[in-house]
Homo-oligomer: A and B are copies of this chain.
Amino acid sequence: MTKDESDTNSDLYIPEPLHRPGDTPDFSHIHVRRNDNLEQPDVLVDSYETERHAGGLIRVMDMQGVASGPWLPQVTPDILRKGLRAMLLTRLMDDRMFAMQRQGKLSFYLKSRGEEAVSVAQTLAIRKTDMVFPTYRQQGVLIARDYPMKRMMCQCLSNAGDSSLGRQMPTMYSSREYGFFSISGNLGTQFIQSVGWAMASAYKRRDDLAMAYIGDGSTAEGDFHYALNFASTYRAPVVLNIVNNQWAISSFQGIAGGQSKTFASRGLGYGLASLRVDGNDFLAVYAVTRWAAERARRGGGATVIEHYTYRAEGHSSSDDPSKYRPNEEASAWPYGDPIERLKQHLIVIGEWDDARHNALVDDLSTYVRDTYKEAEALGSIAAGTGIDPKTMFEGVYEHMTPTLDEQARVSGVGTWRE
């Protein structure tokens, strides 16, 4: 049945990214506009009226830091400064921990450079009682919620200060107290779980919502579909965030996104309000999050938000991005850096200046360095974790089982029997 080439249009198509190593990054097809003339609709609007918001790009700040437009949020300079501080702290901690990983103190590390606005602005726009279902790139949530940094570092060091007893890889935090769901190494799984949490919240007639994250690449998992579908069916109070940072390890977003226009537009087919936002624009992320949270709390159900951003560094400490994309791609990204842009905005509105900024960076650097020292004093994979091997057998079930007790005995760590 195979025909001559001339006879058929049939051929297997494999999409490819714009740039590969050796290419000069060129994003000139992206027209950076102040905003796409996207009005801010009523929070209870029919989902189908968000179609233009799903296809366009909601922005508040221009590249000079001037904020305007229908999505300009009501937010005090104090909150913006808190956001700036949390973003800086996230980046400084990332840098420190990555360096420590290179020195062998940690087995692994994973940065969020370039994406700090997503986690930080969103956290400041919701309540502390809202439960976040993060991926491994939302460390900014914990920092914005003032989670003790030392505990984060101890988790990464897998040492005696790790409240999860070194059971998980570095960066896989968990804190019910801080509304931060235990991170799973399996991509996507938490997206549908967040819907269950939200349904429970609604069932209990609480006002708390769930805030879920997924990467552009991970939207291809079944859990993404389950989440959008169940959220739609049961009108769950959840915000479903897609962080489109253009890359999934070495795969560009077109591998998961295919021929679709935007990831946000996926939400429309499920009858969910869907917004696409400049993820490097702190104010815009803040604004859309407020909108989605209010919609959810007022019974309007779930919103899908695509954060259009760029993963400015390698996937993780195990990755070498120069193998699959030009090193210059990050700096060529037309939507700039979220920290620089918020700093610029604060300066433009007269609430910040370079001197204060530099002083803050110095302060935070010292804080990160000192905190790291304190954390490392409690042990590390390299120097010995100080974690009691007996704990390995605990917590598989609520109560110790005879089988595990016997295995612990064989392993030499003792028994729980009296």
Contacts and interface: CB of A to CB of B under 8 A. Distances in A.
Nearest to A226: B222
A229 interface: yes
A191 to B, nearest CB: 12
A205 B269 contact: no
A298 interface: yes
Interface stretch (A256-264, A317-325, A343-351): A256-264
A7 B268 CA distance: 30
A232 B260 contact: yes
A7 to B, nearest CB: 8
A15 interface: yes
A298 B205 contact: no
A202 B234 contact: no
Interface residues of A, number: 60
Contact of A8 (B199, B205, B221): B205
A163 interface: no
A206 interface: yes
Nearest to A13: B235
A258 B237 contact: no
B271 A260 contact: yes
A76 interface: no
A382 to B, nearest CB: 41
Interface string A171-211: 00000000000000000000000000001011111111000
Contact of A10 (B201, B221, B224): B201
Contacts of A15: 233-234
B237 A10 contact: yes
Interface string A1-32: 11101011111111100000000000000000
> Max chain B CB contacts within 10 Å: which of A202, A224, A229?
A229
Contacts of A221: 222
Contacts of A205: 2-3, 5, 8, 10-11
B260 A208 contact: no
Given A3-B206, A206-B2, A222-B226, A260 B269 contact: yes
A1 B129 contact: yes
**Number of copies of chain A assembled together:** 2
A48 interface: yes
B225 A10 contact: no
A77 B171 CA distance: 68
A297 interface: yes
Nearest to A264: B269
Interface string A294-326: 000111010000000000000000000000000
Nearest to A221: B222
A45 to B, nearest CB: 13
A277 to B, nearest CB: 17
A230 B255 CA distance: 9
A287 interface: no
A233 B258 contact: yes
A233 B259 contact: yes
A138 interface: no
Interface in A215-231: 220-226, 229-231
Interface of A: 1-3, 5, 7-15, 47-48, 129, 199, 201-208, 220-226, 229-235, 237, 254-261, 265-272, 297-299, 301
17 contacts: A1-B208, A2-B204, A3-B206, A7-B207, A8-B207, A10-B206, A11-B203, A14-B234, A47-B259, A220-B226, A220-B229, A232-B258, A233-B255, A233-B257, A234-B258, A259-B271, A259-B301
Chain A to chain B: the 10 pairs with minimum beta-carbon distance, closest first: A222-B222, A232-B258, A259-B271, A225-B225, A9-B299, A260-B271, A233-B258, A266-B269, A12-B203, A269-B269
Given A1-B129, A220-B229, A232-B260, 5 more contacts: A8-B205, A10-B206, A10-B299, A229-B258, A233-B257
